[in-house]
Amino acid sequence: MIYLQMALYCEAKPILQHFPLRAFPQAGRFQSWQSEEITLTISGTGQTEAATCAARTLAQNPPSPSDLFVLLGTCAAMHEGCEKGRLYRIHSLEDLGSGRTYYPDLLAGLELPEASLLTGYQELSRQRKHVWYSSAHEEADLYDMESAAAYAAASHFFGPHQIEVLRLVSDSGEDADLLTPDSISAMMEHEIPALEQIFEHLQKFSRMLENQSQQPSEKEQQVLAEMETAFRCSASMALHLRQLIRYAVCAGLPYETILERYEREGLIPVPGRKEGKDLLVQFERELTR
């Protein structure tokens, strides 16, 4: 199951029109729709609404270890390097109020440009952008008012490898007044083909996670111990590596051939954890293509 949370109905409208989702009344005051594979909930704008929505939805419908939580919606660009109308995958989220930063593991291997995100309580303006961008937040690429709060709430139910934050640039903050519900829906509708592929890939990733409950064989355990060291795995990376190898065994995929090639080419052992994470993403892509 993919738990999909969005802030506005106009953002969700193209998804509701394209995917077979039905109204799900058990969600209380938050509008919700559901299919066999996706539960979509609209939180409303702002950090309080986003966090409350995530906590309530997940408490009412507790996720399994193979489920995923996806935050999808629009945002503002903090600089000209982020293109309007482009969908980004968020690799770090900073809460402007608390100063806390969250780091999704990004192990699902989605083919999207990555960006950092700043979440605050106020709408972005030219003056605020200048103050924030010239202070401690000069590395921020994007800005919104929900994601960090929703991520913090969801992290009580999911690991960092199970959370994805996807943001579509709709404006620069200074021109937000020009946006209308119809223009936001049109931008999101343009991304439907990409979202189809993203959801399909995430559903594959979710099926891989289901294999974590199966005990690995003695041979798998030996391979895992060696590869965790070679990839310099964190705890969540080690879990994902185990899931990938278990999936490969169940599906009859040649994972050993891939790992042997990595050794021959000098890709493993990796020099650091960042390289290990990048190689783990490559390993998943080679297994699932």
Closest residue by Cα to residue 2 from 244, 204, 213: 204
Contact call for residues 95 and 122 (beta carbons, < 8 A): no
Neighbours of 30 (CB within 10 A): 18
Look at residue 225 and tell me whether its pLDDT is greater than 70: yes
Query: What are 143-189's pLDDT values in tens digits?
Result: 999 999 999 999 888 888 889 999 999 987 776 677 899 999 999 99
Look at residue 136 and tell me whether its pLDDT is greater than 80: no
Closest residue by Cα to residue 239 from 161, 184, 145: 161
Q: Is 89 left (phi over 0), alpha (psi -120 to 50) or beta?
A: beta
Query: What are 37-75's pLDDT values in tens digits?
Result: 999 999 999 999 999 999 999 988 888 888 999 999 999
Domains along the chain? 2-209 (3.40.50.1580), 214-288 (no CATH)
Contact call for residues 242 and 227 (beta carbons, < 8 A): no
The structure tokens listed for 65 are 């270890």
Contact call for residues 242 and 159 (beta carbons, < 8 A): no
